[in-house]
């Protein structure tokens, strides 16, 4: 079942990585969206880097619980800022999608990393 855990980390991370790549190639769209919600444009590139790098670390399984917690807080923040207009059906769908992502991240946070992770490798080396 170790492969199931790594597949879960890959699947949940893929959303962030694909979105970061999309934002990289159309930054104006992302900055306009952020400014429409009162988020300073200066946060665009740091958030883009965060959305790309942290999921890669999560896939590798390094400090898995810590980085899953960071992603959880990021998704929670994004959800509260951008997706609480429940009169808009797309915002409601995005809100529910983000709840599902946060649920998956909580599962990652609550479990010990398995064999297919750097954390597991480092823990097994510490025991020797």
Q: Give the tens place of pLDDT for each residue, 14-66.
A: 999 999 999 999 999 999 999 999 999 999 999 999 999 999 999 999 999 99
Higher pLDDT residue, 102 or 114? 102
Q: Residue 88 — very low, low, confident or very high, per pLDDT cuts 50/70/90?
A: very high
pLDDT exceeds 90 at position 125: no
Q: Which of 72-81, 84-93, 118-127 has the lowest mean pLDDT?
A: 118-127
> Is residue 13 classed as helix, strand or coil in its secondary structure?
helix
Q: CB neighbours (10 Å) of residue 30?
A: 19
Residue 106 CA to residue 119 CA, distance in Å, equals 17
Q: Residue 109 — very low, low, confident or very high, per pLDDT cuts 50/70/90?
A: very high
pLDDT exceeds 70 at position 128: no
* Alpha-helical regions (H) of 1-128: 2-25, 27-36, 44-60, 64-82, 89-110, 118-127
Contacting residues for 52 by C-beta, under 8 A, at least 6 apart:
16, 17, 20, 21, 24
> Is residue 117 classed as helix, strand or coil in its secondary structure?
coil
State residue 113's pLDDT score: 80
């Amino acid at each position: 079942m170790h492969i199931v855990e790594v597949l879960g980390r890959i699947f949940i991370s893929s959303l962030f990585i694909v979105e970061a790549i999309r934002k990289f190639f159309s930054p104006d769209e992302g900055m306009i969206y952020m400014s429409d919600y009162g988020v300073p444009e200066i946060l665009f590139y740091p958030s883009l880097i965060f959305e790309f790098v942290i999921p890669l670390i999560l896939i590798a399984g390094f400090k898995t619980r810590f980085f899953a917690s960071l992603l959880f807080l990021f998704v929670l923040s994004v959800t509260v800022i951008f997706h609480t207009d429940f009169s808009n059906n797309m915002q409601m769908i995005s809100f529910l999608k983000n709840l599902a992502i946060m649920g998956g991240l909580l599962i990652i946070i609550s479990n010990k990393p398995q064999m297919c992770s750097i954390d597991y490798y480092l823990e097994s080396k510490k025991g020797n």
